[in-house]
Protein backbone atom coordinates (compact mmCIF):
# COMPACT_ATOMS: atom_id res chain seq x y z
CA UNK A 1 0.00 0.00 0.00
CA UNK A 2 2.82 2.44 0.86
CA UNK A 3 4.60 1.73 -2.44
CA UNK A 4 1.38 2.32 -4.40
CA UNK A 5 0.75 5.56 -2.52
CA UNK A 6 4.33 6.77 -3.14
CA UNK A 7 4.07 5.89 -6.84
CA UNK A 8 0.73 7.69 -7.13
CA UNK A 9 2.13 10.77 -5.39
CA UNK A 10 5.18 10.80 -7.70
CA UNK A 11 2.93 10.60 -10.77
CA UNK A 12 0.73 13.45 -9.49
CA UNK A 13 3.78 15.64 -8.85
CA UNK A 14 5.07 15.02 -12.40
CA UNK A 15 1.65 15.58 -13.97
CA UNK A 16 0.85 18.86 -12.24
CA UNK A 17 3.83 20.35 -10.38
CA UNK A 18 7.40 19.53 -11.39
CA UNK A 19 8.56 17.40 -14.30
CA UNK A 20 12.06 16.40 -15.39
CA UNK A 21 13.23 16.83 -19.00
CA UNK A 22 16.39 15.83 -20.84
CA UNK A 23 18.04 18.30 -23.24
CA UNK A 24 17.91 16.74 -26.74
CA UNK A 25 20.03 19.18 -28.77
CA UNK A 26 22.75 21.80 -28.58
CA UNK A 27 20.40 24.73 -29.24
CA UNK A 28 20.64 25.99 -25.62
CA UNK A 29 24.43 25.70 -25.28
CA UNK A 30 26.32 27.00 -23.33
CA UNK A 31 23.48 27.26 -20.77
CA UNK A 32 22.35 23.64 -21.20
CA UNK A 33 24.33 20.79 -22.75
CA UNK A 34 23.00 17.83 -24.73
CA UNK A 35 21.88 15.13 -22.29
CA UNK A 36 21.71 17.50 -19.32
CA UNK A 37 18.53 17.15 -17.25
CA UNK A 38 16.37 19.99 -16.00
CA UNK A 39 13.41 20.37 -13.65
CA UNK A 40 10.40 22.27 -14.96
CA UNK A 41 7.82 24.08 -12.85
CA UNK A 42 4.51 23.21 -14.54
CA UNK A 43 2.25 25.45 -12.44
CA UNK A 44 4.12 28.77 -12.17
CA UNK A 45 2.38 30.33 -15.17
CA UNK A 46 -0.99 29.84 -13.48
CA UNK A 47 0.14 32.55 -11.02
CA UNK A 48 2.72 34.58 -12.94
CA UNK A 49 3.20 35.79 -16.51
CA UNK A 50 6.03 34.40 -18.66
CA UNK A 51 8.80 37.00 -19.02
CA UNK A 52 11.86 37.65 -21.19
CA UNK A 53 14.79 35.67 -19.81
CA UNK A 54 12.65 32.68 -18.73
CA UNK A 55 13.88 29.32 -20.03
CA UNK A 56 10.71 27.46 -21.01
CA UNK A 57 9.71 23.98 -22.11
CA UNK A 58 6.90 23.87 -24.66
CA UNK A 59 5.26 22.09 -27.59
CA UNK A 60 6.27 24.02 -30.74
CA UNK A 61 3.78 24.86 -33.50
CA UNK A 62 2.94 22.11 -35.97
CA UNK A 63 5.15 23.89 -38.55
CA UNK A 64 8.19 22.39 -36.84
CA UNK A 65 9.02 19.24 -38.74
CA UNK A 66 11.86 16.93 -39.65
CA UNK A 67 11.90 18.56 -43.11
CA UNK A 68 12.70 21.96 -41.63
CA UNK A 69 10.63 24.69 -40.03
CA UNK A 70 7.56 26.11 -41.70
CA UNK A 71 6.15 29.57 -41.17
CA UNK A 72 2.37 30.05 -41.07
CA UNK A 73 2.48 32.95 -43.56
CA UNK A 74 4.69 34.29 -46.34
CA UNK A 75 7.56 36.35 -44.91
CA UNK A 76 9.31 39.37 -46.35
CA UNK A 77 13.04 39.06 -47.07
CA UNK A 78 15.03 39.77 -43.89
CA UNK A 79 12.07 39.11 -41.59
CA UNK A 80 11.49 36.52 -38.87
CA UNK A 81 8.35 34.40 -39.18
CA UNK A 82 5.49 36.63 -37.94
CA UNK A 83 2.86 33.90 -37.50
CA UNK A 84 3.09 30.22 -36.57
CA UNK A 85 1.22 27.45 -38.33
CA UNK A 86 -2.00 26.21 -36.73
CA UNK A 87 -1.81 23.36 -34.25
CA UNK A 88 0.81 21.99 -31.94
CA UNK A 89 3.62 19.50 -32.52
CA UNK A 90 3.93 16.53 -30.15
CA UNK A 91 7.65 17.34 -29.81
CA UNK A 92 9.02 19.09 -26.72
CA UNK A 93 11.48 22.01 -27.07
CA UNK A 94 13.34 24.19 -24.59
CA UNK A 95 14.27 27.82 -25.41
CA UNK A 96 14.53 31.25 -23.81
CA UNK A 97 11.80 33.91 -24.06
CA UNK A 98 13.27 37.08 -25.60
CA UNK A 99 10.07 39.09 -26.25
CA UNK A 100 6.44 39.08 -25.19
CA UNK A 101 3.01 40.08 -26.51
CA UNK A 102 2.96 43.42 -28.34
CA UNK A 103 6.76 43.68 -28.61
CA UNK A 104 8.38 44.33 -31.98
CA UNK A 105 11.30 42.02 -32.74
CA UNK A 106 14.13 42.08 -35.26
CA UNK A 107 17.45 40.23 -35.05
CA UNK A 108 20.92 41.73 -35.53
CA UNK A 109 23.98 39.44 -35.34
CA UNK A 110 21.88 36.92 -33.41
CA UNK A 111 20.85 39.50 -30.79
CA UNK A 112 17.12 40.27 -30.56
CA UNK A 113 16.25 43.92 -31.09
CA UNK A 114 13.10 44.40 -29.02
CA UNK A 115 11.06 47.58 -29.44
CA UNK A 116 14.03 49.16 -31.23
CA UNK A 117 16.65 48.36 -28.56
CA UNK A 118 19.15 45.49 -28.64
CA UNK A 119 18.48 42.99 -25.84
CA UNK A 120 21.88 41.37 -25.18
CA UNK A 121 22.14 38.46 -22.72
CA UNK A 122 21.58 39.57 -19.13
CA UNK A 123 22.98 37.12 -16.60
CA UNK A 124 23.54 34.29 -19.07
CA UNK A 125 25.86 33.48 -21.96
CA UNK A 126 25.10 32.75 -25.59
CA UNK A 127 27.05 31.26 -28.46
CA UNK A 128 26.88 34.08 -31.02
CA UNK A 129 26.03 33.53 -34.64
CA UNK A 130 28.97 32.46 -36.74
CA UNK A 131 29.57 33.50 -40.32
CA UNK A 132 26.66 32.37 -42.46
CA UNK A 133 24.49 31.29 -39.52
CA UNK A 134 20.80 31.10 -40.43
CA UNK A 135 18.48 33.71 -38.96
CA UNK A 136 21.34 35.81 -37.58
CA UNK A 137 20.27 39.00 -39.35
CA UNK A 138 16.57 39.66 -39.71
CA UNK A 139 16.37 43.49 -39.70
CA UNK A 140 12.70 43.72 -40.72
CA UNK A 141 10.72 43.84 -37.42
CA UNK A 142 7.64 41.78 -36.64
CA UNK A 143 5.10 42.33 -33.85
CA UNK A 144 4.51 39.49 -31.39
CA UNK A 145 0.73 38.86 -31.27
CA UNK A 146 -1.27 38.98 -28.03
CA UNK A 147 -0.95 35.75 -26.07
CA UNK A 148 2.31 34.79 -27.82
CA UNK A 149 6.04 34.81 -27.01
CA UNK A 150 9.15 35.03 -29.18
CA UNK A 151 11.68 32.37 -28.13
CA UNK A 152 15.28 31.77 -29.17
CA UNK A 153 17.95 29.24 -28.26
CA UNK A 154 21.15 30.46 -26.57
CA UNK A 155 23.19 28.85 -29.38
CA UNK A 156 22.00 31.50 -31.82
CA UNK A 157 23.42 30.04 -35.03
CA UNK A 158 22.22 26.48 -34.30
CA UNK A 159 18.69 26.88 -32.94
CA UNK A 160 15.34 26.09 -34.55
CA UNK A 161 13.16 28.74 -32.90
CA UNK A 162 10.63 31.56 -33.38
CA UNK A 163 12.78 33.17 -36.06
CA UNK A 164 11.81 30.29 -38.36
CA UNK A 165 8.37 29.04 -37.17
CA UNK A 166 6.87 32.10 -35.52
CA UNK A 167 5.84 33.36 -32.09
CA UNK A 168 4.78 30.67 -29.63
CA UNK A 169 1.18 30.62 -28.31
CA UNK A 170 1.07 30.84 -24.50
CA UNK A 171 -1.11 27.73 -24.28
CA UNK A 172 1.77 25.71 -25.76
CA UNK A 173 3.98 26.43 -22.72
CA UNK A 174 4.49 23.43 -20.44
CA UNK A 175 6.45 25.34 -17.81
CA UNK A 176 9.55 27.19 -16.71
CA UNK A 177 12.86 25.37 -16.27
CA UNK A 178 14.28 26.34 -12.90
CA UNK A 179 17.14 23.95 -12.13
CA UNK A 180 19.44 21.24 -13.38
CA UNK A 181 20.00 17.95 -11.59
CA UNK A 182 22.18 15.91 -13.96
CA UNK A 183 25.11 15.53 -14.45
CA UNK A 184 26.26 16.13 -10.87
CA UNK A 185 28.91 18.69 -11.89
CA UNK A 186 26.16 20.88 -13.45
CA UNK A 187 23.62 20.81 -10.58
CA UNK A 188 22.22 24.28 -9.97
CA UNK A 189 19.59 26.86 -10.79
CA UNK A 190 18.82 28.51 -14.09
Confidence of residue 18 (pLDDT cuts 50, 70, 90): confident
Could you say which of 62, 76, 89, 95 is catalytic? Answer: 95
Active site includes 62? Answer: no
Q: What is the pLDDT of residue 124?
A: 93
How far is residue 121's CA from residue 154's CA, in Å, rounded to a whole number?
9
76-125 pLDDT, tens digit each: 999 999 999 999 999 999 999 999 999 999 999 999 999 999 999 999 99
Poorest-pLDDT segment among 3-7, 13-17, 19-23: 13-17
CATH number of residue 169's parent domain = 2.10.109.10
How far is residue 179's CA from residue 78's CA, in Å, rounded to a whole number?
36
Q: What is the pLDDT of residue 8?
A: 65
Give the range of the structural domain holding residue 87, as residue numbers without chain letter. Answer: 2-189
Q: What is the pLDDT of residue 30?
A: 96
Portion of the chain with pLDDT greater than 70, in percent: 92
- Given a cut of 70, whether residue 70 has pLDDT beyond it is yes
Q: What is the pLDDT of residue 69?
A: 78
Mean pLDDT for the chain overall: 91
Cα end-to-end distance, the chain, whole Å: 37
- Given a cut of 90, whether residue 67 has pLDDT beyond it is no
Q: What is the pLDDT of residue 65?
A: 73
Q: What is the pLDDT of residue 11?
A: 62
Active site includes 27? Answer: yes
The predicted model scores a pTM of 0.91
Q: What is the pLDDT of residue 132?
A: 67
CA dihedral of residues 59, 156, 145, 15 (deg, nearest 10): 20
Residues forming a β-bridge with 97: 151
How far is residue 179's CA from residue 161's CA, in Å, rounded to a whole number?
22
- Given a cut of 80, whether residue 68 has pLDDT beyond it is no
Instruction: Give the total number of structural domains in the chain.
Output: 1
Whether 23 and 36 have beta carbons less than 8 Å apart is answered as yes
The C-alpha angle with vertex 126 and arms to 75 and 77, in degrees rounded to 5, equals 15
Could you say which of 27, 159, 162, 172 is catalytic? Answer: 27
Amino acid sequence: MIVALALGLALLIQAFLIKPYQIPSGSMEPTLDIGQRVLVNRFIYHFDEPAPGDVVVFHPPSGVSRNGPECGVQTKPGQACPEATEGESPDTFIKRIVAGPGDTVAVRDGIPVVNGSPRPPDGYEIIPCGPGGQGCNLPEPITVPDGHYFVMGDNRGQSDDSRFWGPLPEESLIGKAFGTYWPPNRIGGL
